[in-house]
Chain A
């Protein structure tokens, strides 16, 4: 199998028109000849890259599900596998650091498939000149996070780049978990009548990172919500069982990306209710200040559960009993109308589409 030739055209108007000629071709990856920051945003540009390049190249039924973890069978066991790379700047931020993020980010992806994470791998790409004290602090943080998540680091790798060729430290982790039940959790499983539960306030990780990175000080400091979601996922399954359709942690791309992925993968419509979506006041204020929509901002300790409508209240009640789910709420419903689309009733009663971001969210001018 050979990759088709990349479509190259620099100018905006002709390239989008010319794109029609490539309707049968997995490329072009819309409108750019080179990788852009937006390709890593978790929004439409990322989706474009995945569907038009990666899926095309590696097509197989497990990958095609595009869930947070791959669920595979090995002998008599069903395993969940997930991998993630962490390139956050700054590496230490209010509420966490890149080390615990690398553990929780991956174990959460495993947990969202309903598996109990057991092992993780740990690969470091270090930049020459990184203070060893910082590395030690990060490793200590990883040790604590792994203990809290009850996972063991069983393999790893270390590479060092020349000074200036990396950004202090990149971490890749792969997690493996065991599924002890037969539930089929997938973003393809949603049905009309299901309801969506969000486990707590949105946008805390993204705004904590941004405020530290840009030296923005808000009256109430915003802390990242980085946390392991394993217990919440297990509680959800214990109560909901087969009536839980899918679980997702709302990381890059935020709630909007998760809801859109659900809507597209299941071919259903999703209605959200703005007045029901929890956002803590300081976070809402910071988003307002910068012109960011909290629905699109990254979270590292929040999950979205799609469950049968008649069981949602019961599951919500159980989630709320856990400290990480105290602010959980039912935020939306699944419909047969507007398939593939997410709409939201605004606080004042209007309706609008909730789209995925194209690329990075950008602070506005005024």
Chain B
């Protein structure tokens, strides 16, 4: 695959691994912030290949995982209403709410549809003037420009039958919140490459300044991740901390200015609740007041939402890098991808699902050698 194969090349990976081993003299705890990176690390077995001194802990960067349960319940309630076409990216459909997921709503006759772009949802609204189309606008900064564009477009066309249920969260405030925690173990970050293609890396400079931790903007392929680890470890071993960009083929310091401008016009920064972590100040987006006509939370009375979080689930601690999925007593027992207790098990980018799918058993030494 042109432009991808070199980032999966075993020879290059081996060379970088050798370099990581050479520079590592002490134990280090590094967090990859993005669920896509977690998935790639576990799927490719990268964590097995690193020296024992380097522990990768998995961050809260899975948008499906951190969407609050009450918002899933609200989505379920809205999707169940007659006259509504509820649209979402595919991986939100299986996330369990307190009582049901969106797939169940669909099987009960609700009009729930998977779309590949929020603009497809706008088209649905255009094509179905007698129905109300809701798009579940979930995600980090990566998906924000598209979602902003959908709202902008619908507003410009006067489509009053289109709205978004917003659950946008921002990476840098979560990174700061984790570092501020008295339980923090993170000594360096692999920052989420996709987020940085939009937002650049300027936002990480104050974090590095305040907490003195290396931050390396990192891509998603095995070679990307290994390079990112090498860059973080090199800084740690040298006792320095700065923002570096491993993902230079996609990321510039200032990010994508037109996209950032569009986000700023449609959204404003607000406090957000993160599932499993709690409320983080100024850590998300909400629609600006001028787009209130497209805000599904304001348009729909979803009734009384009674949230029912399973007590046994430790996904919050997993999301904060404080526990590994296999340290949960329910992991692989009560909690599996078929019977997920928390969103970290249901989303393919969730750390629990990644461990369960790819590493729930210790493969016997004969095979792992």
Chain A CB within 8 A of B265 CB? no
Given contacts A34-B107, A36-B103, contact A348 B49 (CB under 8 A): yes
Q: Is the CB of B143 within 8 A of A365?
A: yes
Q: How far is the CB of B13 from chain A (nearest CB, A)?
A: 4
Contacts of B107 in A (CB 8 A): 34-37
B93: contacting residue among A275, A358, A362, CB under 8 A: A362
Q: Is the CB of B104 within 8 A of A34?
A: yes
Chain A CB within 8 A of B288 CB? no
B116: contacting residue among A32, A214, A269, A288, CB under 8 A: A214
Chain B CB within 8 A of A341 CB? yes
Stretch at the interface among B235-243, B314-322, B331-339: B331-339
Contacts of A350 in B (CB 8 A): 44-49
Chain B CB within 8 A of A180 CB? no
A12: contacting residue among B64, B139, B339, CB under 8 A: B339
Chain A CB within 8 A of B98 CB? yes
Interface of chain B residues 141 through 183 with chain A (CB within 8 A): 142-143
Contact bitstring B337-352, A, C-beta under 8 A = 1, else 0: 1111100000011000
Contacts of B101 in A (CB 8 A): 12
Q: Is the CB of B138 within 8 A of A31?
A: no
Contacts of A44 in B (CB 8 A): 337-338
Given contacts A16-B335, A350-B49, contact A271 B367 (CB under 8 A): yes
Contacts of B106 in A (CB 8 A): 37
Contacts of A37 in B (CB 8 A): 103, 106-107
Contacts of A30 in B (CB 8 A): 338-339
Q: How far is the CB of A87 from chain B (nearest CB, A)?
A: 16
Given contacts A10-B99, A10-B100, A353-B361, contact A34 B1 (CB under 8 A): no
Q: Is the CB of A281 within 8 A of B2?
A: yes
Interface of chain B residues 80 through 124 with chain A (CB within 8 A): 89-94, 96-101, 103-104, 106-108, 114, 116
Chain B CB within 8 A of A221 CB? no
Q: Is the CB of A348 within 8 A of B8?
A: yes
Q: Is the CB of A337 within 8 A of B99?
A: no
Contact bitstring A29-65, B, C-beta under 8 A = 1, else 0: 0111011111000001100100000000000000000
Interface magnitude class on chain B: 35 or more
Q: How far is the CB of A340 from chain B (nearest CB, A)?
A: 10
Contacts of A338 in B (CB 8 A): 361, 363-364, 367
A349 to B15, CA, bound (A): 13
Chain B CB within 8 A of A3 CB? no
Contact bitstring A213-256, B, C-beta under 8 A = 1, else 0: 01010000000000000000000000000000000000000000
Chain B CB within 8 A of A364 CB? yes
B340: contacting residue among A12, A35, A45, A355, CB under 8 A: A12
Chain B CB within 8 A of A164 CB? no
Q: Is the CB of A359 within 8 A of B94?
A: yes
A351: contacting residue among B45, B94, B142, B360, CB under 8 A: B45
Interface of chain B residues 1 through 32 with chain A (CB within 8 A): 1-2, 4, 8, 10, 13-14
A366 to B195, CA, bound (A): 9
B312: contacting residue among A13, A271, A341, A355, CB under 8 A: A13
Q: Closest chain B residue to A290 by CB distance?
A: B116
Q: Is the CB of B367 within 8 A of A34?
A: no
A281 to B143, CA, bound (A): 26
Q: How far is the CB of A202 from chain B (nearest CB, A)?
A: 14
Q: How far is the CB of A336 from chain B (nearest CB, A)?
A: 9
A283 to B359, CA, bound (A): 26
Q: How far is the CB of B317 from chain A (nearest CB, A)?
A: 17
Q: Is the CB of A31 within 8 A of B91?
A: no
Q: Closest chain B residue to A214 by CB distance?
A: B116
Q: Is the CB of B89 within 8 A of A365?
A: yes
A15 to B104, CA, bound (A): 15
Q: Is the CB of A12 within 8 A of B94?
A: no
B1: contacting residue among A15, A288, A352, A353, CB under 8 A: A288
Q: Is the CB of A288 within 8 A of B4?
A: yes
A31: contacting residue among B92, B108, B339, B357, CB under 8 A: B339
A32: contacting residue among B90, B98, B104, B335, CB under 8 A: B104
Chain A CB within 8 A of B303 CB? no
Q: Is the CB of B367 within 8 A of A363?
A: no
A366: contacting residue among B13, B36, B356, B357, CB under 8 A: B36
Q: How far is the CB of A345 from chain B (nearest CB, A)?
A: 8
Given contacts A37-B103, A337-B364, A353-B359, contact A13 B341 (CB under 8 A): yes
Contacts of A343 in B (CB 8 A): 363, 367
Contacts of A347 in B (CB 8 A): 8, 10, 44, 222
Chain B CB within 8 A of A11 CB? yes
Q: Is the CB of B114 within 8 A of A16?
A: no
Given contacts A12-B96, A284-B1, A343-B367, contact A34 B108 (CB under 8 A): yes
Residues in B lying within 8 Å of A, measured CB to CB: 1-2, 4, 8, 10, 13-14, 36, 42-49, 63-64, 89-94, 96-101, 103-104, 106-108, 114, 116, 138-140, 142-143, 194, 222, 308, 310, 312-313, 334-335, 337-341, 348-349, 356-361, 363-364, 366-368
22 A–B contacts, CB within 8 A, in A order: A10-B100, A12-B310, A13-B308, A17-B334, A30-B338, A31-B338, A35-B107, A44-B338, A338-B364, A343-B363, A346-B43, A346-B222, A347-B222, A350-B49, A351-B368, A352-B44, A352-B358, A353-B359, A363-B91, A364-B91, A365-B139, A366-B63
Residues in A lying within 8 Å of B, measured CB to CB: 10-13, 15-17, 19, 30-32, 34-38, 44-45, 48, 214, 216, 269, 271, 275, 281, 284-285, 288, 290-291, 335, 337-338, 341, 343, 346-353, 355, 358-360, 362-366
- Given A355-B357, A363-B91, A364-B348, list of 8 further CB < 8 A pairs? A12-B96, A16-B334, A34-B104, A275-B10, A337-B363, A337-B364, A353-B360, A362-B90
* 5 closest Cβ pairs, A-B complex: A350-B45, A362-B90, A13-B310, A16-B339, A12-B96
